Structure 1
Amino acid sequence: MNSRPVKFRAEIQGFRALCIAQVLLFHAWHVGSPIGVDVFIMISAYLLTGSLVRQAERGQVQPFWQRWVHIFKRLLPPLLVTIVGTLIAAILFLPRTRWLEVLQQSWASLFYFQNWYLQHQAVDYFAANSALQSPLMHLWSMSMQGQIFLLFPLLIWIIARVAKPAGIDVRKLSLVVFSLLALVSLYWLLTKFVAGSSAMYYFDTRSRIWEFSIGSIVAILEPRIRVSGSASTLLGWAGVGVVVVFGLVSIGTYPGPAALAPMLGAAFMLLFVRTTTSRSSVAHVLSWRPLVFLGDNSYALYLVHWPIFVLTLSALEIDTMPILMGLGLSAVSVLVAVALTRLVDDPVRLSPRINVSAWRKLGVVGASVAVGSIVFAGVGSWMNRELSVDTFSVEEGGAGFEDGVEPYLGALVLENENGEADINTLRDGIEPIPAIADMGQEWAAYPYECEGVFANYPDFGNVANHANSCRQMFAEDGGGPRVVFWGNSHMEQYLPAFEMLAQEENWHAAALLMGGCGVATEETADQTCVDWYEASARWITEDVRPNAVVFVVTDSVAGDVDAVTPGAVSFVERLNDAGVAAIGVRDNPRFDDNPLECAASGGDVSRCGAPRAQVYSKRLPLIFEMQETLDFRFVDVSPVLCPGDWCPALMGDMYVYMDDNHLTSTFSQTLQLAMSREFESSGALDLLARAGRP
């Protein structure tokens, strides 16, 4: 936010310019530590709290809702223009597979919950390939700031209401409240930091409230702190210097305790840097007119630069940004930001007609939300029509039968004499399924909650990017062999392929899954996965004691051939010791590029996918040893996933993958015949029949 305090401080705007420059450097080339946004957060809280506390001291306790509409009257119009412009550009330049995601993030950004949306999606903010990231991802910080702008005015309003009747100094009570808030938030961050990766809490508001609170504490303490001119100059240079060093050098993990140093540096800058001090003060550097100009446009620049970066990289199909391109796009971003400030931000900020009353400000807020909602709803309706598939006309015998192959066979197309001609081929008149609009529904799941013998499973709930679940295939135990499908999302994607087997063999089957986890060791997994692995293995061997456990026994790695999962042998031995047989399924490929995006882009579909030799090992000797020495069988459907020497993205008029490493549930259903044959030919069915529960 760029609103100038009553006494304009040019040095703060210059400081903002340094921060936005650091953001540009980090987003373009990952230069330094990502502290520019953190310092912005602190400055915004400093300005907001200072204004509110001063008003409260004068007895001018403004209703919190009026402060809300004053803030969001400023923030929403430029934000709305940015989101709408980005959404339109995404439709023009991004693959169709990414449209719905950008639309969903448009809603999340407009209503200031983008950070929580990204947290739920487990998005990697530090991913090296910016072209694959969302052009609206950067708005997580605006959402977090919006949430704080709702909380802090309410807090100070309550403080003022409590302090006056009790005869307590507003500033002192505010200091206590914001200090406690900072300590609680910092304690929460440190516990999460010790427990796991920053990806687990990067977008979590609670991990950064302390940064906002420090800005508020600085604003509260500022009138009470006095130092000499020479000390002020020294502390000012030290504070700004620390922020600059962190902005240029990668130091620590964010958010994390390393952020304390640049936050304290920013606090020193706000407390001690003044243009009224010595000319040797850093204030005179920060007050340089070009820096102040950049600071005046910093809010708009933050909004527009990331969409410009991401959309350009995606349109040019490049992963990283060359130096000259980065400089050019940064210059373009500045020009667009200046236009956004002059044409949208300034007119709303300076308009006497709007600012005459809180109700008119509320009208601007309401109009922004209404316009955004109408636009997004309209675009969403259009997208659903554009990305849906009408299979009715095809199934009625319209198009696609000229070569004698029925439409929508998926893997079953290989059963036909002419089937191989329908691999990585778009046939005239046939839109592949599942529809792009339905990809979010392509995760498989069994219909019933685990109960009976499958009750009391280890329930870890949702932990960051891990999601625990246990579902059983049938409502009741039919008396047949008990089978547990165990592992992560790569086991989940195969679930539909087992349904024919389960019905024919009368299995009582359940799927115990934990996203991102599987066979885990301290060296290969985070602590959540290690804990889940131990708990689930204990549940299987001591409580359920099924006939067999089916799990994905190999690991596919993008850019390399697959290999046996580390720790798989000890896992099978543990199962066998409890009288439980093990059946290992070969993993599907992981790709460097998203095969779905490639196949849905309208280009040459035959190039979508990868050579079999690039993703699958020719030999897996450890698998042979496990089958010789353990109650273990290996099931390999890779000849179906990669018929011949190519692993296609499209087979039998079906998209094989929903992303770069997961099968669609629709396609997985067509693997049932192949999976049944593999279970029989590999000896897995015989092993399962022999295995008994002790």
Structure 2
Amino acid sequence: MRTPMTDEKSVATPNEDAATGNTSGYRLDLDGLRGIAIALVAIFHVWFGRVSGGVDVFLTLSGYFFVASLLKHVIATQPASVSWNRAINPGPRLWRLFRRLIPALFLVLAVVTLLIALVMPKTRWGPLGAEVQASALYYQNWHLAFQSQDYAAADSAISPMQHLWSMSMQGQFFVITMVCALLLGGLLKALARRFEVLRRPTVIRGIVGGTLAVVALFSLAWAQYRHGINQPFNYYDTVARLWEPLAGGLLAVWMPRLALPQRLRTWLGVGALLLIVTCGWWIVGVAQYPAAWALVPVGATLLLIWVGSPQTAATATGPTPTSRALAHPRLVWLGSIAYALYLWHWPLLIFYLNWRYQDDVSWLEGTGILAVSLVLAWATTRFVEAPLRSGRGGGSKQYRRILVLALVAATVVSAATVTIWQRDAANATVDTLNLDPRLYPGARAYLYDAGVPNVPMQPSPELAPKDWPITWEDSVTGQFTDAPDRIRSGVYGDPTATRTIALVGGSHADQWIDALNIIGQRYHFRIKTYLRVGCALTTSHVYTWFGRKYPECNEWSRRVMAQLAVDKPDVVFTNSTRPAEEGPGDYVPSDYEEIFAQFRDRGQRVIALRDNPWVSAKLKPPECLATGRKPQVCGVDRDRAMSPVDPTIAIAGKYPNMTFLDYTDGICNDTYCPAVVGNIVVYRDFHHLTATYIRSFIPQLETDLQRSLRWW
């Protein structure tokens, strides 16, 4: 007979086998709750693209079962004289966790590795290889958290392993909890030699519960605090997530003993279940969890555990209708394959979308994906998880040996493949400085009608994402993590020259440094940079990047403007437009005009360049090209990306100190802005130009600078 306290299989994940019957204390309704949770996760992922709250249910159940199991071994099954450390004994527990979690995970990762090679463009092999490694070693949540802050990786498409962040977080929770339990047990053991009271189960329970409560409250406070500072990082942060499984652990320690009328238990259960099922619709989980709003699915889960427990049942009353409904055999079966279903459904969805070049699926396609996921989840549970987890009942010893050898072989091959991908990605470099302009005219093909011979494009689509400005090699471009009072600066062109152009703004000003550097060396002027990613010069508007507001840009802009007043460069080079936030085309933000007015009032000369066309974030030209598609379908319609007329024409008369440039005709033809022009790949992501393509503008930029500055 099994109970939640002793069932080691119920420790952590959606991977819980259903009981064969409702025997002493075993909670079939919690198996059914897992079934509901995994159904919500999969359905919301496949059809609605939202966070359902199902993962938060899993986290809460994980903490409940894991802490309950630890307490059962320490308090209920061991005499007071046995040491805490011996009772917990991490070796067998870690081995059981390993047998339960690793085989299915590594099987899925091996299949994912194969599908990456078959379906994904080579541009993504290196980054996805890093995610395979992060998922296998249980730090995927941290990998995604730091990637969400990395401007260089911010354009990466959704990963087929993104969902594994929760597995990583739970694995970290198990290890952290077990280590802390051992440390606390060692301390109590030492103190119990002098204080007999520390051997009493009620005292041990109080100490454990109090410790869990302190950590849980700190974690919740941290999640709420970080929510308003850096929500994308906060979403994956283990510290911010710990309170969810710890809330379940606290219920295992201090299950309230309060007999309730059957009707009240029923209504509380129905209400809690409704909250779990519906919260995905009225809470934007990605933007709100794991802060205070996560209390809804977590609290509802705790309530279902409590009202379905004997502690709330009056004498001779049976399970509530809610518990009986959750214990339905089909829900219990779904709960038994929940771990494998969680592992399979997301990669199948993402690979299908990439294979079909789609952003979402129809009801028929989604049904097919879920059906295949269910079959794979059942097979994985039946033929991989069960035999290796229990060591019995899943086939002969010979079968288990063959299965282990097959999994080890797949793991070794996957690891070798990932290592090669990462090595190739790390060693790959862009070498396009000396391209023959007769073979690779780039922008000159549009601006000067230069001939375009039939030669391979440069850089290759696989290398285009690495074709960054030289400022990034020198680390002189400010990053999101910089303090707002930090102004990074570099000097290019002719460092000894007396004339200076200040290159100022965000990454769309930064990308022009490669052309300016060569022209500066040629005509003996220097370029001093004042750059920070995502921070075009602004006054009051607060930019939002990757789900977080960046008021640091405003402070940085004020400091840069003050520094320019001191440095007094001969000319400021910056951007003049941005893409329209709603609707097609581009425009001049009011903040830009306020900055332009400050330059005018100072008597500062300015050259302002119209921003380049942005492609849709869902279509990244290098990846599109890497799949073999034509450049004519890997770009963007001109009338969608750019306004029919340069918006600066309407304001130019107000700023006689400024020269406005527009190079749209060097990127687009009359109707389309393709991914390759003049045999050069135009974009390194969906909105930045490659450094190679920027250099193809040198003849035109040189002419325009000479006309404006008269320096040569």
Which TM-score band (shorter chain)? Answer: 0.7 to 0.9
2:637, 2:671 within 8 Å by CA — same for their partners in 1?
A: yes
Cα distance 1:417–1:226, how it changes in 2: closer, same or farther (>3 A)?
Answer: closer
Distance in 2 separating the partners of 1:349 and 1:446: 49
Cα distance 1:174–1:371, how it changes in 2: closer, same or farther (>3 A)?
Answer: farther
Counterpart of 1:176 (choices 182, 190, 210) is 210
2:493, 2:517 within 8 Å by CA — same for their partners in 1?
A: no
Deviations for 1:232-282, whole angstroms, at most 9, x for unmatched residues?
Answer: 444333332322231454467421321112211111112221488534341
Q: How does 1:470-481 map to 2 (within 5 A)?
A: 470-474=488-492, 477-481=495-499
Counterpart of 2:578 (choices 555, 558, 571) is 555
TM-score by length of 1: 0.83
How much has 1:557 moved relative to structure 2? 4.9
Counterpart of 1:487 (choices 482, 499, 505) is 505
Distance in 2 separating the partners of 1:365 and 1:147: 25
1:493, 1:663 within 8 Å by CA — same for their partners in 2?
A: yes
Counterpart residue number, 1:306: 346
Distance in 2 separating the partners of 1:186 and 1:154: 21
Q: Is 1:381 paired with 2:416? A: no
Which amino acid in 2 is paired with 1:305?
H
Q: Is 1:76 paired with 2:102? A: yes
Deviations for 1:165-207, whole angstroms, at most 9, x for unmatched residues?
Answer: 33443322221222111111111221222346x3342222222
How much has 1:163 moved relative to structure 2? 2.2
Which SS does the other structure have where 1:551 is aligned?
strand
Counterpart residue number, 1:42: 60
How much has 1:305 moved relative to structure 2? 0.3
Q: How does 1:225-624 map to 2 (within 5 A)?
A: 225-228=257-260, 230=262, 231-250=264-283, 253-255=287-289, 256-274=291-309, 278-351=318-391, 372=411, 374-381=413-420, 406-412=438-444, 418-419=450-451, 421-422=452-453, 427=454, 430=456, 432-434=458-460, 436-437=462-463, 439-440=465-466, 442=468, 444-445=470-471, 448=474, 461=481, 470-474=488-492, 477-520=495-538, 523-526=541-544, 529-542=550-563, 543-557=566-580, 560-592=584-616, 593-624=619-650
2:51, 2:284 within 8 Å by CA — same for their partners in 1?
A: yes
Counterpart of 2:169 (choices 138, 144, 147) is 144
Count of equivalent residues: 648
Which amino acid in 1 is paired with 2:614?
R
How much has 1:23 moved relative to structure 2? 0.6
Distance in 2 separating the partners of 1:674 and 1:351: 72
Which SS does the other structure have where 1:662 is aligned?
coil
Counterpart residue number, 1:664: 690
Counterpart of 1:164 (choices 189, 204, 215) is 189
Q: 5+ unaligned residues in a row in structure 2: which ranges?
A: 1-12, 79-83, 193-197, 395-399
1:541, 1:580 within 8 Å by CA — same for their partners in 2?
A: no
C-alpha RMSD over aligned residues: 3.8
How much has 1:461 moved relative to structure 2? 2.7
Identity rate, percent: 26
Deviations for 1:93-136, whole angstroms, at most 9, x for unmatched residues?
Answer: 23333333322211121112222222222299xxxx9x952211
Which amino acid in 2 is paired with 1:262?
P
2:464, 2:690 within 8 Å by CA — same for their partners in 1?
A: no
Counterpart residue number, 1:647: 673
1:584, 1:635 within 8 Å by CA — same for their partners in 2?
A: yes
Counterpart residue number, 2:32: 14
Distance in 2 separating the partners of 1:552 and 1:7: 68
Q: Is 1:211 paired with 2:229? A: no
2:29, 2:332 within 8 Å by CA — same for their partners in 1?
A: yes
Counterpart residue number, 1:453: none
How much has 1:287 moved relative to structure 2? 0.7
Deviations for 1:335-393, whole angstroms, at most 9, x for unmatched residues?
Answer: 11111111211111111699xxxxxx9xx99997996365233355379779999999x
Which SS does the other structure have where 1:511 is aligned?
strand
Distance in 2 separating the partners of 1:49 and 1:173: 13
Which SS does the other structure have where 1:661 is aligned?
coil
Cα distance 1:517–1:321, how it changes in 2: closer, same or farther (>3 A)?
Answer: same
1:569, 1:626 within 8 Å by CA — same for their partners in 2?
A: no
Cα distance 1:115–1:32, how it changes in 2: closer, same or farther (>3 A)?
Answer: closer
1:61, 1:160 within 8 Å by CA — same for their partners in 2?
A: no
Which amino acid in 2 is paired with 1:257?
A
Q: How does 1:83-94 map to 2 (within 5 A)?
A: 83-94=109-120
Which SS does the other structure have where 1:445 is aligned?
helix
TM-score by length of 2: 0.81
Cα distance 1:548–1:369, how it changes in 2: closer, same or farther (>3 A)?
Answer: farther
Which piece of structure 1 moves more, 493-502 or 135-144? 493-502
Which amino acid in 2 is paired with 1:20?
I
Deviations for 1:460-519, whole angstroms, at most 9, x for unmatched residues?
Answer: 6359xx998724034995252333322222222222121123223444433333322324
How much has 1:585 moved relative to structure 2? 1.4
Which piece of structure 1 moves more, 325-334 or 472-481? 472-481
How much has 1:414 moved relative to structure 2? 5.7
Deviations for 1:193-232, whole angstroms, at most 9, x for unmatched residues?
Answer: 2346x3342222222111122111111112x534335354
Distance in 1 separating the partners of 2:700 and 2:144: 37
2:129, 2:422 within 8 Å by CA — same for their partners in 1?
A: no
Which SS does the other structure have where 2:371 is aligned?
helix
Which piece of structure 1 moves more, 436-445 or 259-268? 436-445
Which amino acid in 2 is paired with 1:99?
W
Which piece of structure 1 moves more, 3-12 or 108-117? 3-12
Q: 5+ unaligned residues in a row in structure 1: which ranges?
A: 355-360, 451-456
Cα distance 1:90–1:498, how it changes in 2: closer, same or farther (>3 A)?
Answer: same
2:53, 2:279 within 8 Å by CA — same for their partners in 1?
A: yes
Cα distance 1:370–1:329, how it changes in 2: closer, same or farther (>3 A)?
Answer: closer
Distance in 1 separating the partners of 2:426 and 2:443: 23
